[in-house]
Amino acid sequence: MKIVYVTQRLPFGEGETFVIPEVDALLAAGHHVLIIPRESSAPVMHDDVGALLARTRRLPRSSRIIGAVLQSLTRQPRRTLAAFWRLRRTRPRRRAIANALATAEGIWVARFARSWGAEHIHAHWAHLTATLAMAASAVSDIPWSFTAHRYDVVLNNLLDDKLRSARFGRFIAREMAGVARSLVSPEAMAHSEVLHMGVRLPPVVNAHKPSRTTPVLLCPGRLVRMKGHHFLLEAAAQLVSRGISFELWLAGDGPEAESLARRIRDLGLEKRVRMLGMLPHAALLRLYQKREIDCVVLASLDLGASVHEGISVALIEAMGYGVPTIGTRTGGMAELLEGGAGVIVPPADSLALADALERVLSSPELRAKLGEAGRRRIEAEFDAATIAGELVCHFQGSRDGV
């Protein structure tokens, strides 16, 4: 099957790494994938994206996009005008210009997708990438779909229209599908599916670990307020007061870096906490593979207005390697960790987090149990190869197999 993937930046910039295993799985299954990012000015930042660059087509200069729109108006005036007319329902109205620009880009993509022989167009994000794909489908008559993540659902940029016109809209967590259900009509939600983002499932890791006396906790994630690092540091201080041996490694960078460094000093945690900065993805996975990490923890917060985790790919990756995980009950996290696949604590509760960390650090048996259960959860629900097969069934309008 020939599939166009519309992204915001992939394979450029430092986001959207979660799409790579999905595309790789589609390619491994023999499908042809062409990636069209809306933005491509940023440098390539991913470890394993080299092969995807050859499968990427950048949007042309604005003059060529305008030319494609004019040509489409001449050859397919009704379809082209209908693609723009649909934007009249844009709310708030200030988004109308951005939607119009994305629609113009979509008209160019329509022409390119037809010439490439595309059989389906899929957009990641339900915001402007989906606006582009919706227009491309309207003009080309190639079926389309989209993956909705988190903030893009809350924005509700023509979400009802997009669900109605798409072959299906995919939500990566039940929690986000619930948010969408409160925003759109039942008829639109009939076009929705809940299908997680997958990761590459690594081989089962040997349970043997390097001999060390101090357990290592890892928190992988950008240093932003939503990740709740300050509560994690307070929990770490609690562990020190209880005489618990551990090291805490923070892998990531972001605007909270200086504030967190000060907090580490204020709490006297300099000898316990290491700030690793931005860790290359491959290096992070090697830590899991070599059993250098005893537990992965995220202290994520719910900041209101649906500003919270979706389902953390960072935890999914760790669980795939059999690393025990601890997370907070925010967004779709319970969906990932429920049923004993990990430990769930309330957000913004450093005492509850410290108690959970103490239980896990004090019991090798519990760590082994959590690691095995987490691995089983990823095998069952988050394997990129399996999910890619399900996606193709939906792309084809069938659930009977690839």
* pLDDT tens digits for range 98-107: 999 999 999 9
Nearest to 248 by CA among 319, 316, 326: 326
- Provide the token pair at 286: 């090697």
183 and 250 both lie in a single domain: no
Mean of per-residue pLDDT scores for the chain: 94
Residue 301 has pLDDT above 90, yes or no: yes
Q: Is residue 352 part of a domain?
A: yes
Task: Please state, as a whole number, how many other Cβ atoms lie within 10 Å of the Cβ of residue 278.
Answer: 14
In this prediction, residue 400 carries a pLDDT of 42
For residue 120, CA distances in Å to 60, 185, 209, 282, 397 come to: 21, 25, 46, 31, 10
Q: Is residue 285 part of a domain?
A: yes
Q: Print burial letters for 331-345: b (CB count within 10 Å at least 16), e (below 16).
A: bbbbbbbeeebbbbb
- DSSP string covering 173-227, please? SHHHHHHHHTTS-HHHHTTEEE----B--PPPPPS-----SS-EEEEES-SSGGG
- DSSP string covering 143-161, please? -EEEEE-SHHHHHTSSHHH
The domain tally of the chain equals: 2
Q: Is residue 68 part of a domain?
A: yes
In this prediction, residue 306 carries a pLDDT of 67
CATH number, domain containing residue 50: 3.40.50.2000
170 and 272 both lie in a single domain: no
| Partner residues linked to 169 by β-bridges | 146, 192
DSSP 8-class letter at 145: E
161 and 243 both lie in a single domain: no
33 and 90 both lie in a single domain: yes
Residue 182 has pLDDT above 90, yes or no: yes
188 and 274 both lie in a single domain: no
In this prediction, residue 47 carries a pLDDT of 73
228 and 177 both lie in a single domain: no
Amino acid at 10: L
Q: Is residue 305 part of a domain?
A: yes
In this prediction, residue 15 carries a pLDDT of 82
| Partner residues linked to 121 by β-bridges | 4, 144
Residue 310 has pLDDT above 50, yes or no: yes
17 and 148 both lie in a single domain: yes
Asked if 381 contacts 320 with a C-beta cutoff of 8 angstroms, the reply is no
185 and 310 both lie in a single domain: no
SS3 sequence of 114-131: HHHCCCEEEEECCCHHHH
Please tell me whether residue 75 adopts helix, strand or coil conformation. Answer: helix
Measure the CA dihedral 65/69/72/78, to 10°: 150
Rg (CA), the chain: 22
In this prediction, residue 31 carries a pLDDT of 98
Using CA of residue 384, residue 390, residue 395, residue 401, what is the dihedral sign?
positive
Residue 224 has pLDDT above 70, yes or no: yes
33 and 130 both lie in a single domain: yes
Q: Is residue 367 part of a domain?
A: yes
- Provide the token pair at 39: 């933005």
238 and 187 both lie in a single domain: no
In this prediction, residue 211 carries a pLDDT of 58
pTM reported for the whole predicted model: 0.92
- The whole domain housing 292 covers 216-381
225 and 183 both lie in a single domain: no
Q: Is residue 209 part of a domain?
A: no
Asked if 399 contacts 393 with a C-beta cutoff of 8 angstroms, the reply is yes
Residue found under tokens 């509560």: 231
- Provide the token pair at 326: 């601890």
- Angle between helix 350-361 and 364-381 (nearest 10): 100
23 and 144 both lie in a single domain: yes
Q: Is residue 211 part of a domain?
A: no
Q: Is residue 203 part of a domain?
A: no
